[in-house]
Every structure is written in structure tokens, then in C-alpha cells.
Structure 1
């Protein structure tokens, strides 16, 4: 099931206080970026935030699961994105706190693209 534009609009509206937030189509869903860095996914009408060792325990404590999908070869788990618990979605201030932690995790993991120099012929 693809993520809806309505959910993408709702989430980006909630995240507006954080600054340069925008959604873009990605894999049948949406990626949410802070500037040029992805920190959230919307897939199957569920939001997932980027995690690292600092914020993953909070997701685990609430029984959240990492994003996963099935292929012909079996299930694939994407451990760097975890489902945002429902109670977090229902509390706008807490949601912003968790989004800040996801942005921090994404910024720490971000590797800027290197400019390739073309060989002169």
C-alpha cells in the first residue's frame, strides 16, 4: 500500500516548526527531508524515523519495529528506520522532539556527495 499525499502533507505540516522540511516521492511512498538529508519515510501510511544508537532505545521501549518488506528471497529489515509509535504521533510537541532526534541521527550518518572531477581529454 502506497503512502498517501494527505499523510505526507499532514506530517510536513506538523514538522514545519523545524525549518526546511519537505516531502518527496520515493519507493511508492515519501521521503521526508530536512534540507537535503532524509530523516523520515512514509510507507504504507506509516511514518518511520531515522534511528541510531542514541534514539533507538526509545523506539524499542514503546514496542516499535524497524521498517521491513518482503522480497522473493525473504524479508528485508531496514534497521535505520523505525515506525513512529502512535502515542508520539498524537502528541505534537513530543513528535517534534522525536523528529529532532531523527534529524540528528540522519545528519550524523549523512555522507556528502563528492564532486567528481572529469578527466580532461
Structure 2
């Protein structure tokens, strides 16, 4: 495991701990990020020091209003974005109850997405 992978896993583990009273969460590496799962649904991604939650059309508006952005990465020299995952705003990350509410919304978006 690379040093960056170890840091990302440690960061993901921090959020697993933060959300442990909300739900049982597992993690797995996924394309250089670490995916956070609840009941086999990916609802969050830890990536380069940020935590990104799954969004849908309704919840994306809250992230946009908070000045957030989609998970961005570079592939073959081009900037890309995983538009279904947006960075959790700092004020949400710092508020345990609010973090759990946003995680629940992200989980519901993941379940809804899986149902198609």
C-alpha cells in the first residue's frame, strides 16, 4: 500500500468512526479512493483529504449552495469529475449531528441510484 493510500484509508477510517453511531460502515479501496459502504451501497468516498457524499438531483442543490464541488480527478492528462459525489462542506464535517443527517441523505441517494 502506498503512503497516499495509507493516508486515504486513515482518513476514511476517521469518518467510519465519526458515523459509527449512525450505521455500520465498511470500506474498500476504489480507483485510488476509499469507498464507504452501508449495506452494500457506496454512499461516500474519501479522496485526497476530502470526504465526498453521494448526491441526487435534490441534494446536489444543497452542496452547490454551500459552495461545494464534485469529486475531481485527472485521467490521461484531462481534468474529470465524478458528478454523483460532492465534497461535504466544512461546516457539516465539523458538526456531528449535521454530518449524520447529510450521510443519511447520501445513503438514500445511493439506494435510489441502485434501484435505477
Residue of structure 2 equivalent to 1:40: 44
Q: For 2:97, which of 93, 99, 102 is the aligned residue?
A: 93
Q: TM-score, normalised by structure 2?
A: 0.88
**The residue matched to 1:25 in structure 2 has which SS?**
strand
Q: For 1:55, which of 59, 74, 91 is the aligned residue?
A: 59
- Unaligned runs of at least 5 residues, structure 2: none
Q: Quick check: 25-34 or 67-76, which moved more?
A: 67-76
Q: Distance in 1 between matches of 2:9 and 2:77?
A: 30
- Unaligned runs of at least 5 residues, structure 1: 113-121
State the 1:73 CA deviation. Answer: 5.2
- Asked whether 1:110 is paired with 2:114, we answer yes
Aligned length in residues: 112
State the 1:72 CA deviation. Answer: 2.2
Q: For 1:6, which of 4, 7, 10 is the aligned residue?
A: 10
CA RMSD in angstroms comes to: 1.6
Q: TM-score, normalised by structure 1?
A: 0.85
**The residue matched to 2:57 in structure 1 has which SS?**
coil
Which of the pair is proportionally richer in helix? 2
- Which entry has the higher C-alpha Rg, 1 or 2? 1
